[in-house]
């Protein structure tokens, strides 16, 4: 059986050992250990942490040197202070309290502290040593023993097929016979392909739909749920339940609900509401949006959980201050909630823009891209060309364009992040 560690008792034991070592250092070498604590700004939590560290240092007979700086302190000034502390023989350890103000690069400050005086162990070298422990070579090898099989599987199942697919897009391979190099012929034909153009347009509509309707509904649902105190876990489960159901189950349920004789249509006719006479899945005008609606019904609960998790991280004191000022619910959402959850919001936009391109399962199960290609999307058309038309080279060309799109989207978001967008 595992032993339960008494945290307080263990900490007290460590402090006693440190004090004993500190006393010996003073007695034998007449050296009094000194810890320099640097605090930038007036962050309440940081001030509490610094106070506790100073108190514990005193208990261990360690002298402290407090360096308090203004919130607007420039990075260069802080770096010079750290360098001075590095060169001060009377200072044996340096602790720069995090977080630092936005104008200061935390990583640069941490790496400026000498390895020997880095009390937190955040310096890149110390962090590496802490993670691998004693025998560096031996312990550095151990993670690769576990990662190796996963990396091999990833290479065989994902990386290698992806590279081969990129190579096949320049061929006329049918999946079985001889592979002939045809250059850019597949791409030339693609740009003249009427169905391919339709699929591109439908993917665009799909992306716009998912960037608007599910996000709006999820934001509203999450905002409402934050005000619900009772049975909140139950409501979360209800919202999230469609997401954990298999795609085939969701599709079969909605195929039945859209059925003109047994579904929602006849049910609403009993109340004098003519909802639809034919299944929206079988009509060219509505098939794509009907599939999108079903997929959104499955997906929006996932977004609710994302947003509500982010909303619970918002400091309650901000809302209390807003209440004192007489702010409305909309004003609190606009000026407090949304700015604070913007990183999660931007993340949801990123995953939607990526996932909208390989959208396949709901289209394939519900309509197969029909009727008359009215709900055709790129992934479904790729599947048709590869496995029905046996034109693997042509399908690979479609896949390569999808990959390029995803690569550009990820690159764009990476660029925005470098420009200090909260993504």
When the pLDDT of each residue in the chain is averaged and rounded to a whole number, the result is 87
Give the rounded distance of the alpha carbon of 129 from its chain centre.
28
Residue 190 clears pLDDT 90, i.e. is over it = yes
**For residue 305, is pLDDT > 90?**
no
Topology of the domain covering 7-132? Rossmann fold (3.40.50)
pLDDT-derived band at 168 (thresholds 50, 70, 90) equals very high
Domain residues of the chain, as ranges?
7-132, 185-418
Determine the pLDDT at residue 140: 58
* Class in CATH terms, 185-418: mainly alpha
Residue 259: pLDDT over 90: no
Average pLDDT rounded to a whole number, residues 154-173: 89
At 423, is the pLDDT very low, low, confident or very high (cuts 50, 70, 90)? low
Work out whether strand 34-40 and strand 63-69 pair parallel, antiparallel, or are unpaired.
parallel
Between CA 101 and CA 103 the distance in angstroms is 6
Name the nearest CA neighbour of 102 among 168, 24, 41, 19: 41
User: Residue 360 pLDDT > 90, yes or no?
Assistant: yes
Is a pLDDT exceeding 70 seen at residue 141?
A: no
Give the pLDDT band (50/70/90) at residue 142: low
Tokens at 115, concatenated: 């390895």
Give the bridge partners for 96, in sequence order.
38
For 72-93, give the secondary structure using H, E and C. CCCHHHHHHHHHHHHHCCCCCE
When pLDDT is averaged across residues 203-228 and rounded to a whole number, the result is 90
pTM, rounded to two decimals: 0.66
Confidence of residue 195 (pLDDT cuts 50, 70, 90): very high
Output b/e per residue, 22-57; b: 16+ Cβ within 10 A: beebeeeeeeebbbbbbbbbebeebeebbeebeebb
| Mean pLDDT of the 376-387 span | 94
What 193-201 contacts at long range (C-beta under 8 Å, 24+ apart), as own/partner pairs, is 195/373, 195/376, 195/381, 196/378, 196/381, 196/398, 198/373, 198/376, 199/373, 199/376, 199/377, 199/378, 199/380, 199/381, 200/378
Pick from 117, 113, 103: nearest CA to 41: 103
pLDDT of residue 422: 57
Of 123-132, 162-171, 215-224, 242-251, the one with minimum mean pLDDT is 123-132
Residue 24 pLDDT > 60, yes or no?
yes
Does the pLDDT value for residue 94 go beyond 80?
yes
The torsion of the CA quartet 123, 417, 308, 102, rounded to 10 degrees, works out to 50
pLDDT band (50, 70, 90) for residue 314:
confident
């Amino acid at each position: 059986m595992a032993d339960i560690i008494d945290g307080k008792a263990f900490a007290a034991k460590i402090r006693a050992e440190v004090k004993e070592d500190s006393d010996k250092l003073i007695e034998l070498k007449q050296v009094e250990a000194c810890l320099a604590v640097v605090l930038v700004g007036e962050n309440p939590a940081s001030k509490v942490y610094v106070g506790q560290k100073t108190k514990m240092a005193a208990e261990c007979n360690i002298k402290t040197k407090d360096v308090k700086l203004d919130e607007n302190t420039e990075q260069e000034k802080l770096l010079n202070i750290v360098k001075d502390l590095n060169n001060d023989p009377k200072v044996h350890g340096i602790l720069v309290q995090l977080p630092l103000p936005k104008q200061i690069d935390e990583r640069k400050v941490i790496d400026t502290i000498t390895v020997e005086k880095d009390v937190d162990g955040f310096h890149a070298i110390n962090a590496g040593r802490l993670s691998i422990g004693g025998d560096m070579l031996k312990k550095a090898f151990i993670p690769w023993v576990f990662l190796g099989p996963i990396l091999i599987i990833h290479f065989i199942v994902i990386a290698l097929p992806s590279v081969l697919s990129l190579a096949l897009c320049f061929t006329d391979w049918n999946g079985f016979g001889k592979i002939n190099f045809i250059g850019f012929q597949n791409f030339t034909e693609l740009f003249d392909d009427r169905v391919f153009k339709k699929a591109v347009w439908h993917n665009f509509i799909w992306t716009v739909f998912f960037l608007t309707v599910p996000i709006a509904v999820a934001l509203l649902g999450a905002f409402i749920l934050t005000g619900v105190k009772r049975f909140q876990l139950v409501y979360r489960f209800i919202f999230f339940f469609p997401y954990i159901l298999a795609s085939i189950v969701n599709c079969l349920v909605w195929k039945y609900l859209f059925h003109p004789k047994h579904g929602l249509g006849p049910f609403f006719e009993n109340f004098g509401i003519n909802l639809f006479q034919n299944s929206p899945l079988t009509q060219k005008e509505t098939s794509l949006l009907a599939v999108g609606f079903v997929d959104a019904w499955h997906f929006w609960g996932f977004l609710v959980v994302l947003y509500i998790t982010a909303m619970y991280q918002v400091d309650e004191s901000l809302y209390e201050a807003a209440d004192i000022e007489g702010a409305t619910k909309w004003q609190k959402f606009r000026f407090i909630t949304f700015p604070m959850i913007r990183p999660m919001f931007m993340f949801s936009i990123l995953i939607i823009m990526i996932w909208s391109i390989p959208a396949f399962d709901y289209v394939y199960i519900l309509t197969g891209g029909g009727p008359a290609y009215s709900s055709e999307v790129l992934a479904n058309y790729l599947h048709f060309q590869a496995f029905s038309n046996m034109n693997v080279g042509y399908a690979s060309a479609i896949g390569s364009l999808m990959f390029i799109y995803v690569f550009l989207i990820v690159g764009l978001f990476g660029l925005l992040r470098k420009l200090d967008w909260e993504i």
